[in-house]
A and B are shown apart, each in its own frame.
Chain A
Amino acid sequence: MSRRSHWAAAVALSVLTLTAVGCGSDVTTSTESTTSSPAATGTSAPVTADVTVGDPWARTSPMSSELGAVYLTLTSNTGDTLLGAAVPTSVAGSTEIHETAMADGTGTTMMPGTTAGDDTSDTTEMTQMTQMTEPPGTMGGDSPMPGSGEMEMRPISSLDLPAGEAVALEPGGYHIMLIDLVAPLVAGDTLEVTLTFERAGEQVVTVTVRDS
């Protein structure tokens, strides 16, 4: 290799390196040394499993609708899995935990956070995901903007709750769907939702109905 090409290579190398460093400092987020471990795998922790529930609410349901949605935030101290949710039959016929996601299966949109635990081994009777919607072959070319492809809801069998991490069930992400509402959900009403966790067991949450 000639001297000149060595030189060129060296310059290129340093430019590349420094470009990476220079730009990197703009975009890299500081690495956090969190200790949150992935979902619990049945270890016998000395602390009692407990899940803190934040801001449980349900949207007022349109008069003609038989569906409702409950939103809340779950934080497990030990790491846990939400296995199901239930309401009295005086409120709704059944419930499902749902994920709103891109129809091509690319996961939850508009909502970073944990991924859905729909591939965990301990599936319950709640699972009934039969088929994912294929991406539309007929979609008119360019999508208007990022995140505006087709979206759909899918039932998920469970939801992982990493230790210490607040997992939000919020519009555009996860929600507890109330099916066959007995009566419309009216602002100011409350309803009781029983959440079942793998480790923390059952927990009854009082949910307030509001517009948004």
Chain B
Amino acid sequence: MPSPDRPHRSRRRRWRHVGVIVVALVVVLVAGACGSTDEGSTAGTAPEASTDALEGLRRDPPLDVSTVVLPEVREGEADQPFTLVPQPGNLLFVYFGYTHCPDLCPTTLADLRKAFRELGPDAARIETAFVTVDPQRDTASVLPSYLSSFVDGGHAIRVDDPAALQAAEDAFLASSTITPLEDGTYSVSHTAFSSIVDDTGTVVAEWPFGISPDSMASDLRILLDETDRDRAGGSSTTAPA
């Protein structure tokens, strides 16, 4: 270890004592510094809670999206208002995307489809809502059939009013931007995470883009168990530790 040899040449004995103190200090401080770094990174970035092994992020306090209502579109039918809350005992997967999106959106939906296969019969308890951020192109004749390519019985959500779309995005902390291009077309950017909503209208987990189908399935199992427990327990509203 580098000893502090700069200040003095005399009094070596005293320095020996000092050396011991320095060592002690260094050990304590190194341990402290490293320890706090680890904790910091865990709290700041990795949402992986060791208690329940949930891969997705649990936000504290959780987001309440129970008041979000948007039109659900079906080809050849009138739009129906859809509250972004699943049936009792179910969970709702929500994604803000668009169909002219060959990479992120189909990757996420294809992975979700895979997760459903892993879940087996429990997959019937997971509802899916795909909210288009590109209502101009994602019409009632496009959006439902796009979604049905991945999942059965999904809710195709489309709203023309940009303010209504943004209000819904805000509730989920999602966002999107349409940018006109010089050639007359436009580019679309959007957040690419997914949200899982429980039957109280609470976002119980958020998944970053790229989460594996295995992790999706595992998280959904945990969240379904929690839903069952909450419904059985009645009074318990918080996630069990």
CB-based A-B contact count at 8 angstroms = 192
Please, what's the 1-or-0 string for B39-60, where 1 marks a CB less than 8 Å from any CB in chain A? 0000001010000000001010
B133 → chain A, closest Cβ, in Å? 10
Please, what's the 1-or-0 string for B178-205, where 1 marks a CB less than 8 Å from any CB in chain A? 0101110001111111000000000000
Q: Return the chain A residue nearest B181 by Cβ.
A: A130
Contact B26 A110 (CB under 8 A): no
The segment from B80-88, B97-105, B218-226 found at the interface with A is B97-105
Given contacts A69-B106, A148-B208, A148-B209, contact A64 B169 (CB under 8 A): no
Interface range, B side: 35 or more
Identify which of B34, B102, B146, B182 contacts A22 (C-beta below 8 A): B34
A68 at interface (Cβ–Cβ under 8 A)? yes
In the assembled complex, the Cα of A54 lies from the Cα of B145 at a distance in Å of: 32
Please, what's the 1-or-0 string for B94-129, where 1 marks a CB less than 8 Å from any CB in chain A? 000001111110110011011000000000000000
Most buried by A among B110, B149, B192: B192
Residues of B within 8 A of A140 (CB): 169-170, 173, 175
In the assembled complex, the Cα of A177 lies from the Cα of B213 at a distance in Å of: 23
Contact B146 A62 (CB under 8 A): yes
Given contacts A3-B7, A212-B114, contact A62 B170 (CB under 8 A): no
A152 at interface (Cβ–Cβ under 8 A)? yes
Contact A144 B179 (CB under 8 A): no
Contact A19 B146 (CB under 8 A): no
A42 at interface (Cβ–Cβ under 8 A)? no
Given contacts A22-B30, A23-B30, contact A130 B45 (CB under 8 A): no
Contact A144 B29 (CB under 8 A): no
Q: Can you list 11 residue pairs at the A/B interface with Cβ under 8 Å?
A: A19-B30, A23-B34, A98-B103, A100-B103, A148-B192, A150-B190, A151-B104, A151-B209, A153-B103, A171-B103, A171-B210
Listed in ascending order, the chain A residues whose CB lies under 8 Å from chain B are: 3, 6-7, 9-11, 13-15, 17-19, 22-23, 26, 59-65, 67-69, 98, 100, 103, 109-110, 128, 130-131, 133-134, 136, 138-154, 171-172, 175, 177-178, 211-212
Further 4 A-B residue pairs, CB within 8 A, beyond A69-B106, A133-B189, A212-B113: A19-B34, A62-B150, A146-B45, A153-B101
